[in-house]
Structure formats: structure tokens, C-alpha cells
């Protein structure tokens, strides 16, 4: 049950973990740019992308998946960069295996519990009948009413592929993700204080990391800094990729 991954470049290991409904493909362009100085590993977490499907899904399990991936690929230490769900998985890993983390860059998420906010998005995906569509254009038309934003529809449609028989199907394990949506928002139990350099990045238009959250986070991260990227919401690396990339490169 190995995780699917893409690898670019050489040097110190940098592992990038995508968010909910995402995949390694979403980070391809940023990963390739960062690979000029690092061995970049873009992972598909379980139930996402081309990785295996499983009924078991929580952050302790995702942390264990990452540990097994590093052992399998002979990575003793790595810089971690994680967005949203991938950020929470990175945080869990940092407290579970602190000796394996060189630095930690967390994108628009913290330790606290949060409620999944995009119930309409999830419902639109569940209600989409892939058995009756003949083309990606028809899929786009079906999603348009409930997901009017073109970029968001394209992001979701990256999870749809044609089977060998020619029919469309979800690449991710949609039913398990929907059934475990509370686990996606679960609080990370901080075990002690994490000492390695840590950066929390938030979008100026996002409310996932509030000012009061930063005060709380300082209790658990000894060497921590915070940055806010202008003109960006929760999808910081999509909304303002240039500023995001510059900030990550400077931190690393």
C-alpha cells in the first residue's frame, strides 16, 4: 500500500502534501520550481489521486503513511510543506516524528478543530451522476449550477478520469472522504514543543488562522514565524503563486 508520488530535482528532501480533494498534480508547477534546489517529493495521500483507497482515515494514519513513505524511500529527514489537510497531516507528523523534520511550512491551517465549510461543494460532487455523462464538457455543465467558479470546477474535475471501459469515475475515494469529513477538521494533539524552524502562511482573505490562533500556536512551536499573503484566500498557492513561492524559498 505505497503512496503514489512524483519526484523532481536533487538535494535535501522536501515533501509536499496536498489538501482535501487535491493531489500531487496540484503542486506540479511549484514543485518543479522548488526542485532547482531540493529533491522534491509530491505525494498523493491515501484516498486521493493515484494512491490506494482505504476505509481508515485520520491524521494519525496519514502521519504513519508519511513515515512509511520516508522509510521506503530512504529519507532520514525532510522539509515538510503542507496545505490545509496536508498541513494538518504535516503537523501530526512533526509531533509524532520530530527527529525526521528539518523544517515545517504550513499553509493556511493550524492545530485547532474546524468545521468543513464547503458542504455545497461536497454535495455537488456526491450528486454528480458519472454514469450518464459522455464528455468532460457535460460534467462541467452538471457542476456549473452548484460550483459557479470555473477554477474550482477544474480543480474538482482533476479527480475524474476515464476507466479502461471508457466510463468516467472518481479517482479519489469520495464516499470515504465524505463519511470522514469530521476527521479532516479534527484538532491536532500537540505533544510537547516542536523546536525546528516553522512557518505558518495564511491568506489575507482567509479565516483559517486568526490573530488569536497565532498567539496559541506560539506555545507549541519554539522557532515559529507567521506570514500573511495579500490577495489570497484559503488556496494561497493558487491565488498568489508568485508571492507564495518567494516566501517559501526564502524560508527554506
Residue 235 shares a structural domain with residue 110: yes
Please tell me whether residues 36 and 88 are part of one structural domain: yes
98 with 126, same domain: the answer is: no
Domain of residue 155: give its range. 119-179
Per-residue confidence at 173, pLDDT binned at 50, 70, 90? very high
- Nearest Cα residue to 60 out of 48, 70, 46, 50: 46
pLDDT band at 139 (very low <50, low <70, confident <90, very high): very high
Looking up cell 516524528 gives 97
Q: Is the confidence at residue 151, as pLDDT, over 90?
A: no
Out of 156, 179, 202, a domain closes at 179
53, 155: one domain: no
Are residues 98 and 166 located together in one domain of the fold? no
- The Cα–Cα gap between 215 and 218 comes to 6
Q: How confident is the model at residue 234 (pLDDT cuts 50, 70, 90)?
A: very high
CATH of the domain at 90: 3.40.50.1820
Q: Taking 80 as the threshold, does the pLDDT of residue 179 lie above it? A: yes
Mean per-residue pLDDT, 233-250: 95
Asked whether residue 192 falls in the same domain as residue 171, the answer is no
> Is there a single domain that holds both residue 86 and residue 197?
yes
* pTM for this entry: 0.95
Mean pLDDT of 175-201: 95
Same domain, 134 and 210: no
Residues 64 and 150 reside in one and the same domain:
no
**Model confidence at 75: pLDDT above 80:** yes
State whether 89 and 154 are in the same domain: no
Q: Could you give the percent of the chain with pLDDT greater than 90?
A: 90
Number of domains making up the chain: 2
Question: Closest by alpha carbon to 195, among 62, 117, 98, 124?
Answer: 98
> Last residue of a domain, which of 134, 153, 179?
179
CB of 44 closer than 8 Å to CB of 84: no
Which of 57-71, 148-162, 215-229 has the least mean pLDDT? 148-162
CB 168 within 8 A of CB 204: no
**Mean pLDDT confidence for 32-56:** 97
Q: Are residues 55 and 152 in the same domain?
A: no
Please measure the distance between the N-terminal and C-terminal CA atoms of the chain and give it in whole angstroms.
31
Are residues 141 and 40 part of one domain?
A: no
Closest CA to 218 of 243, 200, 244: 200
Amino acid at each position: 500500500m505505497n503512496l503514489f508520488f512524483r519526484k523532481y530535482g536533487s538535494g535535501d528532501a522536501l515533501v509536499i502534501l496536498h489538501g482535501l480533494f487535491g493531489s500531487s498534480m496540484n503542486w506540479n508547477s511549484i514543485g518543479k520550481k522548488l526542485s532547482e534546489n531540493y529533491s522534491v517529493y509530491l505525494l498523493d495521500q491515501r484516498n486521493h489521486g493515484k494512491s490506494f483507497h482505504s476505509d481508515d482515515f485520520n491524521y494519525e494514519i496519514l502521519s504513519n503513511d508519511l513515515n512509511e513513505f520516508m522509510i521506503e524511500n530512504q529519507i532520514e529527514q525532510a522539509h515538510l510543506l503542507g496545505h490545509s489537510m496536508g498541513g494538518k497531516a504535516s503537523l501530526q507528523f512533526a509531533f509524532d516524528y520530530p527527529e525526521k523534520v528539518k523544517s515545517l511550512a504550513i499553509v493556511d491551517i493550524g492545530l485547532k478543530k474546524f468545521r468543513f465549510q464547503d458542504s455545497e461543494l461536497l454535495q455537488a460532487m456526491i450528486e454528480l451522476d458519472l454514469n450518464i455523462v459522455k464528455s468532460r464538457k457535460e460534467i462541467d455543465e452538471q457542476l456549473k449550477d452548484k460550483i459557479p467558479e470555473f477554477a474550482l470546477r477544474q480543480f474538482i474535475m482533476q479527480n475524474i478520469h476515464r476507466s479502461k471501459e471508457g466510463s468516467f469515475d472518481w479517482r479519489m475515494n469520495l464516499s470515504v472522504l465524505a463519511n470522514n469529513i469530521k476527521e479532516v477538521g479534527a484538532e491536532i494533539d500537540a505533544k510537547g514543543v516542536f523546536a525546528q524552524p516553522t512557518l505558518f502562511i495564511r491568506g489575507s482573505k482567509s479565516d483559517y488562522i486568526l490573530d488569536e490562533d497565532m498567539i496559541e500556536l506560539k506555545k507549541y512551536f519554539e522557532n515559529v514565524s507567521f506570514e500573511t499573503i495579500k490577495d489570497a484566500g484559503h488556496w494561497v498557492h493558487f491565488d498568489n503563486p508568485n508571492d507564495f513561492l518567494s516566501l517559501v524559498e526564502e524560508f527554506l
